[in-house]
Amino acid sequence: MNRHLLIPVLTQTAVGGLFINLAPVTPHLIRELGATYGDVGMVTTLFILGQVLAGLLAGYFSDRFGVKRIYVAANICTVLLAVLLAGAQTIQQILFLRFFLGFAMGTQFVVGSSYLAFWSPPEKTALYQGIYGGGFNFGIALSFFLAAPQVSWLGWRGVYLVPGVACFLSTLYLCVAGREPAEKPSGQALSPRDFRHLPIQPLVLLGVGMTAAWATFIVLGAWLTEYLMVAQRSAFWLSSVLTGINVAGSGIGRILGGAVARPGRETRAVLWFYFIVIAAAAALLFSSSVIVILTLAALVAMVSSMGFAPLMRLAIQVGGPRLQGTAVGLVLALGMLIGSVLPTLFGWVVGVTGSFTMGFLVVLAAPLTGFLAMLRFQSRCAPEQKNL
């Protein structure tokens, strides 16, 4: 495998273990730190808000000062923050540090995508972005699979220590084997005036469209373990494993999306993906069988994630070679900004109504929003529209 594909994929797999790693240890946070359901939802929301801020800035700085330099700095900050979070003593400290972890990881995700795009053959851009995003989701899934042994060995702090070590190793590999793209030398002369030429309307619509591909699996990953333990009285280890399977399915979806979305047909593919997700998410509202709910949740997570790779390719195409980092950052930032409220909103709905079924309304909101945005993009901005 080309090392310039391997570097960002390994890095994303390692860092994925820090994303929603507190979800399977929610009962421990409630018991040991006095956290509430609202606090747990806010942990994810503040993290994503940090990612949003990073998305707005990371692409700009990598386009101006060099991809590898910013990529390495973001990885080092991620490792340091993982260590600090492992030593947190209160839920307030976790909330504070999670925001900065979100900023570091958001920078890493945006710049890693840009790094990969420079080394990808144009005809394989969507596939490589799908593999890249899939690695992140597989890292999240691995954090659920390992949650029970980590907690039994190291307590809830193990969910930061173990991924932190993996991030440290992947950062070393990046420093040794990574290289600044020849087409984008460090310090390339870009001025703020160059960024005025970005086509804002297409990027905004793509960002809203990214809501479903980014936020849907996050909401399910953040709350599925708790749903299984509270509503279905499942054991901790079984609930974590089942959630891990769900998130792993979203990783498979990201790779499949990159494989099946043909160049020039990305918008149409995303619309079909989201239509299927809307139908499956609506069916969740009327399901009572845990087997049916788990099946539908897996379908929602996998198919919604299939929209990620074609959306990333469209963002890269809109930004062009000189500004693709900024374009990718804006699209991810908008998708994460809209999606950031969903985990907290899910927890609030469940807390008020006492019903996880009502919380699934929040899951339905993401693909509906994304579908409407992509319809608008298709009619006004889609670069492949002339071929439809």
> What SS3 state is found at 289?
coil
Closest by CA to 261, choosing from 56, 123, 107, is: 123
Count structural domains, the chain.
Answer: 1
pLDDT of residue 103: 93
pLDDT-based confidence at residue 272 (cuts at 50, 70, 90): very high
pLDDT bucket at 382, cuts 50 / 70 / 90? low
Domain presence at residue 188: no
For 313-323, what is each residue's pLDDT tens digit? 898 888 776 77
Any domain includes 191: no
What secondary structure, in 3-state letters, does 171-215 show?
A: HHHHHHHCCCCCCCCCCCCCCHHHHHHCCHHHHHHHHHHHHHHHH
* Predicted local distance difference test score (pLDDT) of residue 385: 42
pLDDT > 90: percent of the chain = 20
What mean pLDDT is predicted for residues 64-79?
Answer: 88
pLDDT per residue as tens digits for the range 239-266: 878 888 888 888 899 899 988 878 788 8
CA 370 from centre of chain: 15
Of 374, 24, 360, 362, the residue nearest 205 (C-alpha)? 374
305, part of any domain: yes
Confidence (pTM):
0.75
pLDDT for residue 69 is more than 80: yes
Within a domain: 213: yes
pLDDT above 80: residue 153: yes
Q: Is the pLDDT of residue 328 over 50?
A: yes
Nearest to 4 by CA among 180, 133, 202, 261: 180
Reply yes or no on whether the pLDDT at 81 is more than 90.
yes
Assign residue 51 the CATH number of its domain: 1.20.1250.20
Domain enclosing residue 244, as ranges: 3-182+198-387
pLDDT at 78 over 90: yes
Q: Report pLDDT for 383.
A: 56
Q: Is residue 193 part of a domain?
A: no
Query: In this structure, is residue 190 part of a structural domain?
Result: no
pLDDT tens track for 338-347:
777 787 788 7
Question: Residue 286 pLDDT > 70, yes or no?
Answer: yes
CB 103 within 8 A of CB 46: no
Domain annotation covers residue 187? no
Inter-residue contact 270 to 240 (CB < 8 Å): no
Q: For residue 279, give the amino acid letter.
A: A
* Number of helical H runs and strand E runs in the chain: 14, 0
Classify residue 267: in a domain, yes or no: yes
Secondary structure of residue 263 in the 3-state scheme: coil
With beta carbons less than 8 A apart as the criterion, state whether 307 and 212 touch. yes
Picking from 69, 70, 48, 46, the residue whose alpha carbon sits closest to that of residue 58 is 70
Residue 47 pLDDT? 85
C-beta separation of 80 from 167 below 8 A: no
Mean pLDDT, residues 40-66: 79
- The pLDDT tens digits for 206-226 are 999 998 887 787 787 777 877
Q: Is the pLDDT of residue 386 over 60?
A: no
Residue 145 and residue 122: Cα distance in Å, rounded?
35
**Residue 269 confidence (pLDDT):** 92
For 100-145, the pLDDT digits (tens) are: 999 999 899 888 888 888 887 877 888 888 888 888 888 888 887 8
CA–CA gap between residue 68 and residue 345 (Å, rounded): 37
